[in-house]
Chain A
Amino acid sequence: MMSYCGHDIPFTPDNPGVFVDSLNMSGQAVKVRESSGGVMCFVPFCCTVEAEAFGADVNFGDGLSVPGVSGHLWDSFAEMSEGLKGINFESGRIHEVIKACGILHGMGEKVCVEIGGAMTIFNGLIELPQLFRAWRKDRDSVKNVLAVIADELMKYMTRLKDSGADVLSFADSSASLDILGGKFSRMMCEDFFVPFLKRAGTLADDKTIIHICPRNSHMLEALGYAETREYFTRNGIHYDEACIESAGHVKMTGQACIKNRSLTLRDGIIREIIIHE
């Protein structure tokens, strides 16, 4: 067993099924949803899926900790720029996540799929100082790589939506103002978050809502790249329920962690995030 957000999930190093296989993944997601009393199932159970789909070597660990990457795929940003290719969505764990989403939807579950952002992906592919150096000296080269990542994430999110995802939960927790500081946060917003999230917003409709990690949404708002609009659901509603119920009225939100089941909105207000033009 290993711990995942306060829940025990079955895992041994020689049986990493919950991370790699859609049936295992979806079955466990239902168990976690039932034991938490929440309204939706979360998949996947780690934040390395996207980096692995771009080529990172993932180590599932010893059961005491969550999966992480073993080493980095590229030694320099120039190598990464040349080597980064599109994702094959027809195989590998990313394919299993899409399948798990479909299985859960087919069972009548509400499904939230967590999608890692650019920094989370970079962290699995390259030493971050390489990124920061390139960003400082040759911003266009980083913009080009970020555009590839954005394109692939959009394809991924589109497939997840087509498989029945109710919440597409985007999170890039290390890309926050307190870690990156003003200068690099602005570059992250301008070169990735703003153009990517504008596109991601087009996936929202009356069944699907986009959720953004609050560390990212607060950064966007604090730096003036986004504003919020209030939408009333009902008093005392749990945050996860409010997100689901806001679909069709709110395209993107992110005022708290989507997994914070204990959070209730006394005023019932969901804040929609509107990215500035």
Chain B
Amino acid sequence: MRSEREILDDLSRAVLEMDEDLAESAANEIIAGGFDAQKAITEGLSRGMEEAGKLFEEEEYFVPELLLCSDAMYRAVDILKPYIPKKDAALGKAVIGVVAGDTHDIGKNLVKLFMEAAGFQVVDLGRDVPVEKFVEAVRDGAQYVCMSTLMTTTMSGMSRVIERLREEGLRDRVKILIGGAPISQAFAEKIGADAYSSSAPEAPSVLMKLSAIPA
């Protein structure tokens, strides 16, 4: 029987090398060996995803590679999840979605992935999300709102969400992060968002800085 460390390394490698089959077999080995499923995610899969994120920032990996890494990660997560004791994610609850009128969700899915890997509980509202759904999610206790869009034509949807949160007296309850190809720091400041993230891997650290959570 292999050591826990060897299996964790395989989980990390499976994600980095986009190998879903290896991810599945290593996750099954964790369960069969009675090892800690939570640790398998944080010290195995997340480590692989962090490495993938670094390669993305270094322009070694691009969007397709990150999506395939995330496929491998979720293949293992699906196996490990039932063995993880239910508890609130340590870093808080975030709601994420692509604003109304836009269905491009690759970036949003990557941000979700990196946030979950970092320890946020992420409620995914999907794409083409109406303003009111974001507002409801904040009423339901989300501490962070993350919005993305790929198109200039739908950027204004972000400011509508912020306006509605203000109207409902909910704005001060949440930190708001925005991102997407046409978005910039200047746009974030203009519409009153708390922060802008220029890439998916940096999104969790941006939120952690906003809330003074130690990295």
A binds B: yes
Which of A's residues lie within 8 Å of B, judged by CB? 3, 59, 61-62, 64-66, 68-70, 123, 128-129, 132-133, 135-136, 174, 178-184
Are B103 and A180 closer than 8 Å at their CB atoms? Answer: no
A-B contact pairs, 5 of them (CB 8 A): A65-B101, A129-B71, A180-B62, A181-B59, A181-B62
Instruction: Give chain B residues whose Cβ lies under 8 Å from the Cβ of A65.
Output: 100-102, 151, 153-154, 157
* A184 vs B65: C-alpha distance when bound (angstroms): 9
Give the 3 A-B CB pairs with smallest separation, nearest first.
A65-B101, A181-B62, A132-B64
| Given A3-B153, A66-B151, also A133-B63 (CB < 8 A) | no
Are B64 and A184 closer than 8 Å at their CB atoms? Answer: yes
Instruction: Give chain B residues whose Cβ lies under 8 Å from the Cβ of A133.
Output: 68, 71
Smallest beta-carbon distance A267→chain B, Å: 30
Instruction: Give chain A residues whose Cβ lies under 8 Å from the Cβ of B104.
Output: 123, 174
* A69 vs B65: C-alpha distance when bound (angstroms): 24
Are A68 and B18 closer than 8 Å at their CB atoms? Answer: no
Smallest beta-carbon distance A277→chain B, Å: 27
Are A61 and B101 closer than 8 Å at their CB atoms? Answer: yes
Instruction: Give chain A residues whose Cβ lies under 8 Å from the Cβ of B68.
Output: 129, 132-133, 136
Chain B residue with minimal CB distance to A67?
B101
Are B106 and A128 closer than 8 Å at their CB atoms? Answer: yes
For the complex, is B123 an interface residue (Cβ under 8 Å from A)?
no
For the complex, is B128 an interface residue (Cβ under 8 Å from A)?
yes
* A135 vs B18: C-alpha distance when bound (angstroms): 13
Are A181 and B153 closer than 8 Å at their CB atoms? Answer: no
Which of B's residues lie within 8 Å of A, judged by CB? 18, 59, 61-65, 67-68, 70-71, 100-104, 106, 128, 151, 153-154, 156-157
Given contacts A129-B71, A135-B64, 8 further A-B contacts (CB under 8 A): A59-B128, A61-B100, A68-B128, A123-B104, A128-B64, A132-B67, A181-B59, A183-B65
Chain B residue with minimal CB distance to A72?
B103
Chain B residue with minimal CB distance to A128?
B106
Smallest beta-carbon distance A61→chain B, Å: 5
Are B157 and A180 closer than 8 Å at their CB atoms? Answer: no
Are A64 and B63 closer than 8 Å at their CB atoms? Answer: no
Smallest beta-carbon distance A4→chain B, Å: 8
- Contact partner of B67 among A61, A128, A174, CB < 8 A? A128
Chain A residue with minimal CB distance to B104?
A123
Instruction: Give chain A residues whose Cβ lies under 8 Å from the Cβ of B63.
Output: 179-181
Instruction: Give chain A residues whose Cβ lies under 8 Å from the Cβ of B18.
Output: 136
Chain A residue with minimal CB distance to B65?
A181
- Contact partner of A68 among B62, B70, B103, CB < 8 A? B103
Instruction: Give chain A residues whose Cβ lies under 8 Å from the Cβ of B61.
Output: 181
Instruction: Give chain A residues whose Cβ lies under 8 Å from the Cβ of B153.
Output: 3, 65-66
* A133 vs B154: C-alpha distance when bound (angstroms): 29
Instruction: Give chain A residues whose Cβ lies under 8 Å from the Cβ of B65.
Output: 181, 183
Instruction: Give chain B residues whose Cβ lies under 8 Å from the Cβ of A179.
Output: 62-63
Are B128 and A64 closer than 8 Å at their CB atoms? Answer: no
Which of B64, B104, B128 has the most CB atoms of chain A within a 10 A radius of its CB?
B64
Instruction: Give chain A residues whose Cβ lies under 8 Å from the Cβ of B103.
Output: 68-70, 123
Chain B residue with minimal CB distance to A71?
B103
* A3 vs B68: C-alpha distance when bound (angstroms): 36
Smallest beta-carbon distance B9→chain A, Å: 23
- Contact partner of A66 among B62, B71, B101, B156, CB < 8 A? B101
Which of B62, B100, B106, B151 has the most CB atoms of chain A within a 10 A radius of its CB?
B62
* A181 vs B66: C-alpha distance when bound (angstroms): 11
Chain A residue with minimal CB distance to B101?
A65
Smallest beta-carbon distance B103→chain A, Å: 4
Chain B residue with minimal CB distance to A65?
B101
Instruction: Give chain B residues whose Cβ lies under 8 Å from the Cβ of A68.
Output: 101-103, 128
Instruction: Give chain B residues whose Cβ lies under 8 Å from the Cβ of A129.
Output: 67-68, 70-71
Are B101 and A181 closer than 8 Å at their CB atoms? Answer: no
Instruction: Give chain B residues whose Cβ lies under 8 Å from the Cβ of A178.
Output: 62
Instruction: Give chain B residues whose Cβ lies under 8 Å from the Cβ of A181.
Output: 59, 61-65
* A66 vs B106: C-alpha distance when bound (angstroms): 18
Are A64 and B67 closer than 8 Å at their CB atoms? Answer: no
* A180 vs B61: C-alpha distance when bound (angstroms): 9
Which of B18, B61, B104, B153 has the most CB atoms of chain A within a 10 A radius of its CB?
B153
Instruction: Give chain B residues whose Cβ lies under 8 Å from the Cβ of A3.
Output: 153
* A68 vs B106: C-alpha distance when bound (angstroms): 15
Smallest beta-carbon distance B97→chain A, Å: 14
Are A64 and B64 closer than 8 Å at their CB atoms? Answer: no
